[in-house]
């Protein structure tokens, strides 16, 4: 393999085909520097492993390989690479030479990939002249207390608008407060999450500092729901995934259904859409089936966030007028591709569900609204359409459902 004139031909890198994974990728900055290894060109970050989140990627110089492994280790690595190239060890190598702006990092944040092995939308750059909506985030949660303004500023620079979603009374109040502070960028929902309705409720420290459960109070929730910055009721719904106590499953399901229906009635009364959390028990569509029955004849708009249903139940939900959100999980799992292809684009919204489930490149990190760009790229690829069409359609869906008319 030839390692090209890296110094005397700026903007061009040469790489072989080894190590390409086909996972969603990220474009490299022009100042990327690489070194050879048995697996092709390696990227060295400031800490030796992966880029810092939210900033420019910084790479160690190739000399670092000698500092880390010593002259003998460096010699062994380069000798191993030569053997690989000469004898096809670890796969046949091939030379690829393209402009640096068409090279990408794979999900492991290390190995460079040739253009024909990466996502067809990975090279797309989001233009800040276009609005993009994060339809379901939790930017008001305590996990952002130390740097919330910086997170929101990153979203503002990319022209990302967001709906921050309440999960109980106190978090709904926090969502409204934040929406008041950023009237052109953030809207709120108020609701009571199904996981908070049962006796053995789930406590998430990212969501609330205290460990005491809150009591559902429809009167207090109704007052919050009338606030002008509130655009939907929820997140509320049915969650059977964590119902594992056989002695209380029926009771817990009934409680969830009762509290959900009261919130659905409130949404119908105020003519505000429902932001629904619906999670079936493993390997089934049971919660979605019960959702259809629980909704009855209510006419309010309804959005199922983080949708995981089968094609079969999706048909019924589409006929009933539901919308669906998809988030970062679609960038690293193909389990959702078939359903996404089936659902019309005019029924799809984009979400981060931040701080949870960051897209592939940021996987394992705290999620944030600006990462919605990566999900939009992947959605365009699955739907076999352009990134611009995904942006246009999902923004129009948000404006229609939530009756929003944001400006650039």
**pLDDT value at residue 259:** 97
Q: What are 13's strand-pairing partners? A: 98
Residues 294-311 have a mean pLDDT of 93
Q: Which contacts qualify for 56-61: CB closer than 8 Å, 24 or more apart? A: 56/29, 57/28, 57/29, 57/32, 57/105, 59/31, 59/32, 59/33, 59/34, 60/33, 61/33
User: What tens digit of pLDDT does each residue of 363-383 get?
Assistant: 889 999 999 999 999 999 999
Q: Where in the chain is the domain with CATH 3.20.20.140?
A: 132-402
Angle between helices 169-181 and 218-225 (to 10 degrees): 10
Of 15-24, 62-71, 145-154, 340-349, the one with minimum mean pLDDT is: 15-24
pLDDT of residue 6: 27
Is 370 exposed, middle or buried, given 0-12, 13-18 or 19+ CB atoms closer than 10 A? Answer: buried
Please state, in angstroms and rounded to a whole number, the distance separating the CA atoms of residues 48 and 68: 9
Give the burial class of 385: count Cβ atoms within 10 A of its Cβ; 0-12 exposed, 13-18 middle, 19 or more buried.
middle
CB 286 within 8 A of CB 384: no
Cβ 363 vs Cβ 388: under 8 Å: no
Q: Is the pTM above the cut of 0.85?
A: no
Pick from 208, 290, 200: nearest CA to 242: 200
Spatial neighbors of 20 by CB under 8 A, at least 6 apart, are: 106, 111, 113, 114, 117, 118
CB 253, CB 237: distance < 8 Å: no
Contact 100, 30 (CB under 8 A): yes
Give residues with Cβ within 8 angstroms of 319, minimum separation 6.
none
Measured CA to CA, the distance from residue 255 to residue 158 in angstroms comes to 42
My answer on whether omega of the bond before 124 falls inside 30° of 0, hence cis, is: no
pLDDT score for 128: 65
Q: State the DSSP code for 45.
A: B
- The helix (run of H) or strand (run of E) holding residue 164 is strand 160-165
**Per-residue pLDDT tens digits for 146-198:** 999 999 999 999 999 999 999 999 999 999 999 999 999 999 999 999 999 88
* Summary mean pLDDT of the chain: 76
Pick the residue with more confidence: 23 or 350?
Answer: 350
Helix (H/G/I), strand (E/B), else coil: 222: helix
The pLDDT confidence band at residue 202, using thresholds 50, 70 and 90, is low
Q: What is the mean pLDDT of residues 314-340?
A: 97
227 CB contacts (<8 Å, ≥6 apart)? 176, 188, 190
Q: What share of the chain is helix, strand, coil (3-state, %, to 5)?
A: 40, 15, 45
Distance CA 128, CA 195 (A): 37
- Whole-number pLDDT of residue 198: 81
CATH fold, domain 132-402, is TIM Barrel (3.20.20)
Using CA atoms of 292, 297, 303, 307 in order, give the dihedral in degrees to the nearest 10: 10
Instruction: Classify strands 230-239 and 274-279 as parallel, antiparallel or unpaired.
Output: parallel
The 8-class DSSP code of residue 327 comes to -
In contact, 137 and 164? CB cutoff 8 Å? yes
Return the closest-CA partner of residue 51 out of 259, 362, 333: 362
Give the separation between CA 320 and CA 302, rounded to whole angstroms: 9
Reported confidence tier of residue 70, pLDDT bands at 50, 70, 90: very low
CA atoms within 13 A of residue 27's CA, in its CB half-sphere: 16
The pLDDT score that the predictor gives to residue 244 is 79
Closest by alpha carbon to 83, among 73, 95, 91, 71? 91
Which whole-number Å values give the CA distances from 394 to 119, 189, 264, 321, 349, in the listed order? 21, 19, 24, 16, 5
Kindly tell me the burial class for residue 3, based on how many C-beta atoms sit within 10 Å of its own C-beta (0-12, 13-18, 19 or more).
middle
C-alpha 299/C-alpha 5 separation (Å) is 65
């Amino acid at each position: 393999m030839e390692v090209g004139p890296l110094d005397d031909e700026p903007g061009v890198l040469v790489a072989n085909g080894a190590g390409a994974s086909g996972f969603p990728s990220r474009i490299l900055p022009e100042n990327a520097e690489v070194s050879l290894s048995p697996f092709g060109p390696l990227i060295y970050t400031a800490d030796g492993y992966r880029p810092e989140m939210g900033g420019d990627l910084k790479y160690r110089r190739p000399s670092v390989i000698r500092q880390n492994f010593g002259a003998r280790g460096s010699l062994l690595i380069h000798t191993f690479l030569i053997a690989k190239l000469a004898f096809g060890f670890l796969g046949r190598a091939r030379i690829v030479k393209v402009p640096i702006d068409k090279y990408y990092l794979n999900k492991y944040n290390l190995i460079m990939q040739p253009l024909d092995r990466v996502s067809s939308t990975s090279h797309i750059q989001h233009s800040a002249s276009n609005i993009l909506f994060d339809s379901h985030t939790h930017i008001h949660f305590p996990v952002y207390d130390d740097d919330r303004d910086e997170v929101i500023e990153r979203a503002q620079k990319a022209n990302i608008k967001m709906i921050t979603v309440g999960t109980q009374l106190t978090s709904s109040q926090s969502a409204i407060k934040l929406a008041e502070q950023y009237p052109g960028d953030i809207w709120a929902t108020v609701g009571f999450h199904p996981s908070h309705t049962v006796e053995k409720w789930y406590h998430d420290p990212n969501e609330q500092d205290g460990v005491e459960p809150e009591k559902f109070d429809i009167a207090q929730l109704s007052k919050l729901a009338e606030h002008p910055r509130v655009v939907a009721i929820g997140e509320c719904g049915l969650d059977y995934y964590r119902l594992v106590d056989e002695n209380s499953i029926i009771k817990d399901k009934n409680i969830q259904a009762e509290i959900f229906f009261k919130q659905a009635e409130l949404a119908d009364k105020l003519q505000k859409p429902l932001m629904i959390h619906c999670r079936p028990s493993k390997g089934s569509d049971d919660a979605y089936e019960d959702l259809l029955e629980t909704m009855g004849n209510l006419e309010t708009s309804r959005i199922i966030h983080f949708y995981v249903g089968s094609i079969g139940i999706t048909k019924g939900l589409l006929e009933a007028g539901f919308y669906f959100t998809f988030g970062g999980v679609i960038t690293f799992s193909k389990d959702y591709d078939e359903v996404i292809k089936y659902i019309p684009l005019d029924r799809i919204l984009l979400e981060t569900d931040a701080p949870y489930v960051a897209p592939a490149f940021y996987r394992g990190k705290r999620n944030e609204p600006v990462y919605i760009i990566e999900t939009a790229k992947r959605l365009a690829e699955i739907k076999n359409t352009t990134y611009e069409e995904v942006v246009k359609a999902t923004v129009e869906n948000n404006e229609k459902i939530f009756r929003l008319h944001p400006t650039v």
